[in-house]
Amino acid sequence: MVGASRRPGKVGYMVLYNLKNSYRGPIYPVNPNATEILGLKAYPRVLDVPDPVELAVIVVPAHRVPEVMDQVGRRGIKAAIIISAGFREVGEEGAKLEEKVIQIARQYGVRVLGPNCLGVYSPSTGINTMFLDPEKQSLPGNGPIAFISQSGALGAALLDVAALRGLGISKFISIGNRADIDEADLLTYLKSDPHTRVIAIYIEGVEYGHVFRQALENTTPVKPVVVLKAGKTSAGARAAASHTGSLAGSYQIYNSVFRQTGAIEVLHTEELFDVAQALALQPPMRGDRVAIITVGGGSGVMATDWLSELGFQVPLFSKETQQRLRKILLPIASPRNPVDITGSGTEDHMAESTRIAIESGEVDGIFLIPYFNIATMTERLADLMAPIAQKAKEMGIPIVASVTGGQKSWRIAKLFEAKTGIPVYPGEHRAARALWALRLYGKWLQKIGRL
């Protein structure tokens, strides 16, 4: 940890503090003016650090980074994260300095993440090179979603959101100026990462478009890739250039590349994790037919509208399926599709209706709308739905759920999600978009013969 500081609040202090409180391997602070920092023995130079070292985290003023990188190379360290800013993003002189750093790194065979980044957060290994204050920033636990971000601050904010939503992260990688390691490198790596099921990316622009495209083509047949592209307008592209030195380029080209390679483009930050969550928990959707099973008729109508706008069908169930549903539902319920079990319906009605819809062979996806604020819909629904959800997954039929309600409803909704693996969203439109992403990925896999 080069540039470790004894002063609380400084970047060099916070990075070391976070590493010390999460990583269980040896950590060596480097500071020529200290002998000990946060209870760890400090060293004056990288060359003085003992034992084999795998990673150098660099937090020193930009003009000192070339000297540090030379020591990293001479020391035989093969990976470096440069947190420091003041490179390409500040103009021509910064760009020259960045080029010099990378030339030194390549001379010694060092791979570099950054500069101008937060680095890496990996819950499974305890690596946390971010300089965020844990009193102000929450971090998600271990999970199936890898998240790559060109923006460190936005990435950190979204990690906070992921923690609030109870989503798990396999890796968070802030790439900053991506002077060496870029999105294409990380896609290639994450494609084979056993801890990652879905890759989410925030990008402003890429430097080597053909390489990025090839990486997407190689990755999406194996794992879904969800992309949030910023810098779509001329003003946004200009802002991106001043942010990480990105060349945003023509949005139409990016949009075409995403469609041609099977990457799923989302509209905003909220949807980035909505879609990633669905793809991590549910199978790709094989067709356009959806069964809606709801406690409230109004929600069923709204869900039908949203799904229809997205190109789905909400088909009328056959007489045979309606008869099966009629046998298990209350007389006031509707078995047509949407299946409205009504506010008097119970957990058994919803679970059995779902099972019948899955077994009917008439739908390709299920849209659940339980109201957990009514007396008959309790935590017991999760226990009833867990084996049904597993059967649906084995049959390749995805299930999503929408829960409208406040804090008490959402406590039960999150328990339901955890027990069943069914992603839950606060509103019919968000659940419909999640199902749309599952269908879009299913269409891609069908197109390339993988589904």
* Residue given tokens 């923690």 in the structure block: 163
pLDDT value at residue 119: 96
| Cα–Cα distance for residue pair 72/110, rounded to 1 Å | 8
Bridge-based pairing state of the strands 264-265 and 225-229? parallel
Name the CATH code of domain 118-281 (choices 3.40.630.30, 3.40.190.10, 3.40.50.10470, 3.40.50.261).
3.40.50.261
Q: Please, what's the b/e burial string for 259-296 (b: 16 or more CB within 10 A of its CB; e: otherwise)?
A: eebbbbbbeeebbbbbbbbbbbbbbbbbbbbbbbbbbb
CATH 3.40.50.720: which residues of the chain? Answer: 1-116
Please check whether the domain covering 1-116 is classified as CATH 2.120.10.30. no
Task: Look up the CATH number of domain 283-447.
Answer: 3.40.50.261
pLDDT value at residue 51: 83
pLDDT value at residue 238: 58
Residue whose C-alpha is closest to residue 311's, from 442, 435, 447: 435
Cβ 56 vs Cβ 73: under 8 Å: no
Show pLDDT as tens, one digit a residue, over the chain (451 residues): 999 999 999 999 999 999 999 999 999 999 999 999 999 999 999 999 998 999 999 999 999 999 999 999 999 999 999 999 999 999 999 999 999 999 999 999 999 999 999 999 999 999 999 999 999 999 999 999 999 999 999 999 999 999 999 999 999 999 999 999 999 999 999 999 999 999 999 999 898 899 999 999 999 999 999 999 998 866 655 555 554 555 456 889 999 999 999 999 999 999 999 999 999 999 999 999 999 999 999 999 999 999 999 999 999 999 999 999 999 999 999 999 999 999 999 999 999 999 999 999 999 999 999 999 999 999 999 999 999 999 999 999 999 999 999 999 999 999 999 999 999 999 999 999 999 999 999 999 999 999 9
| 174 contacts: CB under 8 Å, gap ≥ 6 | 117, 118, 119, 120, 130, 149, 150, 151, 152, 155, 156
Q: At 123, list the tokens.
A: 């819950």
Helix axes 251-261, 209-219, angle to 10 degrees: 30
φ, ψ for residue 25, nearest 5 deg: -85, 180
pLDDT value at residue 64: 98
φ, ψ for residue 301, nearest 5 deg: -65, -45
CATH 3.40.50.261: which residues of the chain? Answer: 118-281, 283-447
This prediction's pTM: 0.94
Phi-psi domain of 245 (left: phi exceeds 0; alpha: psi -120 through 50; beta: other)? left
How large is the greatest C-alpha to C-alpha distance in the chain, in angstroms? 81
Whether residue 221 has a cis bond before it, omega within 30° of 0:
no
Whether residue 115 has a cis bond before it, omega within 30° of 0:
yes
